[in-house]
């Protein structure tokens, strides 16, 4: 069974653009009260990770005025790397 390829979540979070590129990074953002948001971004949008994470927190927890305290970036393995590792 082949693994599911995640797509960039930039358009889903920001709402004003769409991106159909495969995700290169998984972002885990934590707020000041330790709530968590996980999203995926492509290489073209990774430089906006903090801004996108804050927007995602605002959408997930409306009217709570939470701020992103930290983000962790995890590089997503590409299919070729997964196949190579499996062999």
Residue 38: what pLDDT?
95
Residue 80: what pLDDT?
46
pTM of the model: 0.79
Residue 83: what pLDDT?
47
Which of 25, 6, 4, 8 minimizes the C-alpha distance to 17?
8
For CA atoms 50, 54, 59, 61, give the dihedral sign. positive
pLDDT tens digits, the chain, 87 residues: what are they?
556 778 888 888 888 778 889 999 999 999 999 999 999 999 999 999 999 999 999 999 999 999 999 999 999 976 545 444 545
Residue 4: what pLDDT?
73
């Amino acid at each position: 069974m082949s693994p599911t390829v995640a797509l960039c979540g930039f358009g889903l979070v920001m709402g004003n653009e769409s991106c159909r590129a495969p995700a290169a990074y998984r972002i885990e953002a934590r707020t000041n009260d330790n709530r968590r948001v996980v999203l995926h971004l492509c290489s073209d949008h990774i430089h906006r990770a903090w801004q996108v994470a804050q927007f995602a927190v605002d959408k997930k927890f409306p009217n709570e005025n939470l701020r992103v305290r930290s983000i962790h970036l995890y590089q997503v393995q590409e299919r070729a790397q997964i196949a190579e590792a499996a062999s």
